[in-house]
Structure 1
Amino acid sequence: MIRWGRQKRRNWQRRSQLEQVEVSTHWMLLLTPWIYFTSGMPQFLVQVTPQRLPLTLAGIVVALGFVQCVTAVRGLRQGVGHYLGTGEAPRRPLAAGLVAFALSTALVTVLVARGWVGDTVGPAMALFAGVPGLAGLYGLTVPPRRSAAVAAGGCALVTGAFAVAGMAWPTLLGTLIVLALGGLVGIFTPRCSAWYIAVMRELDGAKEAQSRLAVAEERLRFSRDLHDVMGRNLSVIALKSELATQLARRGAESVVEQLEEVQQLARQSQTEVRALVRGYREAGLETELAGARSVLRAAGVDCRIESAELGMAREVQSALGWVVREGATNVLRHAEASHCAIRLTTGAAGTAVLVMENDGLRPRPQRGGSGLTGLSERLAALDGTLTGERDETAQVYRLRAEVPLAAVGEAAAVGEVAGQVGGEGCE
Structure 2
Amino acid sequence: MRGPGSWWRGKSTPAKVETYTRGSFHFFAVMEVTVAGLPALAQIGGALGALMLGLVCAHAAVCAFTVSRAVDWVCGGREQPVRLLGVLAALTAVVGVTALAVSAYGPQGEPVDSAAGGVFGTVTVFGVGILTLGLRERRHVYAAVAGFAAGSAPFMIATGEGVLPALVVSGIVLAGSGFVAFTAVFSVWLLRAVYELDEARETRARLAVAEERLRFGRDLHDVLGRNLAVIALKSELAVQLARRGRPEAEEQMIEVQRIAQESQREVREVVRGYREADLGAELSGARGVLAAAGISCEVSGLVAGLPDEVQSALGWVVREATTNVLRHGNAERCTVSVRQREDRVILTVENDGVSDVTTTSGGSGLAGLRERLAAVAGTLEAGAEEGVFRVVAEVPVARVAA
| TM-score exceeds 0.5 | yes
How far residue 151 of structure 1 moved from its aligned partner, in angstroms, is 4.1
Q: Tell me, which stretches of 5 or more residues in structure 1 are unaligned?
A: 410-427
Q: Which amino acid aligns with 1:79?
A: A
Within 2, Cα distance between the matches of 1:238 and 1:275?
23
* Equivalent-residue separation in structure 1 for 2:304 and 2:245 (angstroms): 59
Q: Paired residues, what number?
A: 398
Q: Are residue 98 (structure 1) and residue 90 (structure 2) matched?
A: yes
- Compared with structure 1, are the counterparts of its residues 40 and 329 closer, same or farther at alpha carbon in structure 2 (3 Å cutoff)? closer
> Which residue among 8, 21, 45 is the counterpart of 1:12?
8
* Equivalent residue letter for 2:314: L
- 1:179 and 1:379 map into 2 onto residues whose CA distance is 67
| Contact 2:286 2:322 (C-alpha < 8 Å) held by counterparts | yes
Taking the aligned partners of 1:67 and 1:238, their CA distance within structure 2 comes to: 81
Give 1:34's aligned residue. 30
1:376/1:84 CA distance change after superposition, 3 Å: closer
- Name the aligned partner's letter for residue 19 of structure 2: V
1:173 is the counterpart of 2:164: no
Distance 1:238 1:323, change over 3 A: farther
Inter-partner Cα distance in structure 2 for 1:93 and 1:131: 14
Q: Deviations over 1:321-380 (max 9, x none)?
A: 3433444444445444454433222123x2233333334432144574554444433433
The aligned residue for residue 66 of structure 1 is 57
1:268 paired with 2:262, answer yes
Does the 8 Å CA contact 1:112/1:166 hold for their aligned counterparts? yes
1:392 aligns with 2:385: yes
Q: Does 1:129 align with 2:125?
A: no
- Paired residue for 1:257, among 251, 254, 274? 251
Q: Secondary structure of the equivalent of 2:396?
A: strand
Instruction: Write the letter of the residue equivalent to 1:69.
Output: A
CA distance in 1, matches of 2:156, 2:364: 74
Cα distance in 1 between the residues matched to 2:159 and 2:178: 25
Deviation at 1:232, TM superposition (A): 4.4
Does residue 194 (structure 1) correspond to residue 188 (structure 2)? The answer is: yes
Q: Alignment partner for residue 151 of structure 2, among 157, 182, 186?
A: 157
**Worse-matched range after superposition: 70-79 or 145-154:** 145-154
In the aligned structure 2, how far is the partner of 1:327 from the partner of 1:392? 16
User: 2:17 is matched with which residue: 15, 21, 46?
Assistant: 21
Instruction: Point out the more displaced range, 10-19 or 161-170.
Output: 161-170
1:285 and 2:279 aligned: yes
Change (3 A) 1:27 1:59: same
Which residue type is aligned with residue 261 of structure 1? E
Is residue 357–residue 397 contact of structure 1 (8 Å, CA) maintained in 2? yes
1:242-391 → structure 2 map (5 Å cutoff):
242-249=236-243, 251-279=245-273, 284-297=278-291, 301-348=295-342, 350-364=343-357, 365-366=359-360, 368-382=362-376, 384-391=377-384
Alpha-carbon separation, structure 2, partners of 1:240 and 1:291 = 44
2:204 counterpart of 1:210: yes
User: Which 5+ residue runs of structure 2 have no aligned equivalent?
Assistant: none
Shifted more, 141-150 versus 156-165: the winner is 141-150
Cα 1:306–1:110 shift into 2, 3 Å? closer
**Is the CA contact 1:355–1:399 (under 8 Å) kept in the aligned structure 2?**
yes
* Aligned-partner Cα distance in 2 for 1:105–1:277: 77
In the alignment, is the contact (CA less than 8 A) between 1:280 and 1:318 conserved in 2? no
> In structure 2, how many angstroms separate the alpha carbons of the residues matched to 1:257 and 1:78?
78
Q: Tell me, yes or no, if structure 1 residue 108 matches structure 2 residue 100.
A: yes
- CA 1:231 to 1:202, structure 2 compared with 1: closer, same or farther past 3 Å? same
* Inter-partner Cα distance in structure 1 for 2:275 and 2:75: 50
Query: TM-score under structure 2 normalisation?
Result: 0.81
Q: 1:322 to 1:12 in 2, by over 3 A?
A: closer
Deviations 1:239-264 (A, max 9, x none): 44344445445544344333223222
Shift of 1:58: 5.0
1:161–1:369 distance in 2 versus 1, CA, 3 Å: closer
Whether the 8 Å contact between 2:234 and 2:252 is mirrored in structure 1 is: yes
CA shift digits 1:100-156 (9 cap, x unpaired)? 642552343353357825599945433111113321343244444234324433333
Change (3 A) 1:318 1:119: closer
Distance 1:217 1:280 in 2: 13
Tell me: CA distance 1:146–1:16, structure 2 relative to 1, closer, same or farther (3 Å).
Answer: closer
- Partner of 1:148 in structure 2? 142
For 1:131 and 1:316, the matched residues in 2 are separated by 68
Per the alignment, do residues 337 and 147 of structure 1 end up closer, same or farther by CA in structure 2, a change over 3 Å counting? closer
Matched residue SS, 1:130: helix
d(CA) in 1 for partners of 2:150, 2:391: 63
Range that drifts further, 69-78 or 90-99: 90-99
- Secondary structure of the residue aligned to 1:196 is helix
TM-score (norm 1): 0.77
Give the distance between the partners of 2:242 and 2:18, measured in 1 at CA: 74
Distance 1:374 1:41 in 2: 60
Cα distance in 2 for residues equivalent to 1:175 and 1:153: 14
| Contact 1:340-1:357 within 8 A present in 2 as well | yes
